[in-house]
Structure 1
Amino acid sequence: MDRNEVLLVGRLSASVEEHPLPSGDTVTKWRIIVRRRRNRRGAALTDSIPCVTFNPETAAVVRGLKPRDYIEVTGSFRCRVFGPSAAKTWRYEVEVSTAKPYEAELSEPDDPVDDIGGVQLAALIPRQVSYLAPTG
């Protein structure tokens, strides 16, 4: 069975953009910054993931947030193709069906890791700089 389900928890990167379409609908666009797990060199890398919605209720939730606020979204991964046949542009994005503000709680390094739906919560929460810096 095929499944196309996406769950993202991250920070809103910038203000939301809205674009009216010829059909009368409005597409709402934004990006979510999601931290990757630390790599071998110890650097924290991030991904900036483009998100869109055509749902007015979902758009209202996202518009109510400020840049750098945490957000949780669910939706589907989409590949869209734009442009003339000689010069196609491929764009990958998450088409969001639900969005809600996310209350991030910082956990201490000795706290047990919460596991919600198979996702380790501590992996989603950025650690304070003192935990990332080598000591000694």
Structure 2
Amino acid sequence: MPRGASATPTGATPSADEGPAHDVRNEVRLCGRLSAPAEERTLPSGDVIVTLRIVIPRPEPTRRSGSPDGGSRPGQVDTIDVVCWSAGTRRAALRLDAGATIEIAGALRRRFFATPSGRQSRYEVEARTVRRPGRRRVSGT
């Protein structure tokens, strides 16, 4: 196709899955409290991972929240599982103390695994960076 030419006919609008008009991304940013010390595990494949759990308080409810139950109740939290694959994020996670405030950036993943009762799945965040707020970022790459 010549430079400057468009694959979309003149006057037509691009579909949702074409080009920059549709910005697809899987980005998660979390800031919360580490519920317990991170745990290192060796998988059957020989890969080493570090897992941790971050607890994030939900915002106080508002009357205009728009949710069917009127918003979250005071004191509710979300507990999110995080997995660290890279050496940098594994080291950073293992240095954190339980109760520390931490920031995680990464992507949401759905993991499938076998159990005695059958195949199951779980969502978790695959960490790209792990850090304490106000400290230098430790990248996973």
TM-score (norm 1): 0.69
- Cα-to-partner distance string for 1:40-77 (whole Å, 9 max, x where unaligned): 58612111100001111111111111111011110000
RMSD across aligned C-alpha pairs, in angstroms?
Answer: 1.8
Q: Whose Rg is larger? A: 2
Instruction: State the 1:23 CA deviation.
Output: 3.1
- Residue-pair matches, total: 102
Among the aligned pairs, what percent are the same residue?
Answer: 36
Mapping of residues 59-98 of structure 1, within 5 Å: 59-83=90-114, 87-98=118-129
- Cα-to-partner distance string for 1:62-107 (whole Å, 9 max, x where unaligned): 11111110111100001111117x821110100001111124xxxx
* In structure 2, distance between residues paired with 1:81 and 1:25: 17
- Cα-to-partner distance string for 1:23-51 (whole Å, 9 max, x where unaligned): 33201100000011112586121111000
Structure 2 regions of 5+ residues with no counterpart?
1-22, 63-71, 135-141
Task: Say yes or no: does 1:9 pair with 2:40.
Answer: no
Quick one: which of 57, 61, 74 aligns to 2:88? Answer: 57
* In structure 2, distance between residues paired with 1:10 and 1:96: 14
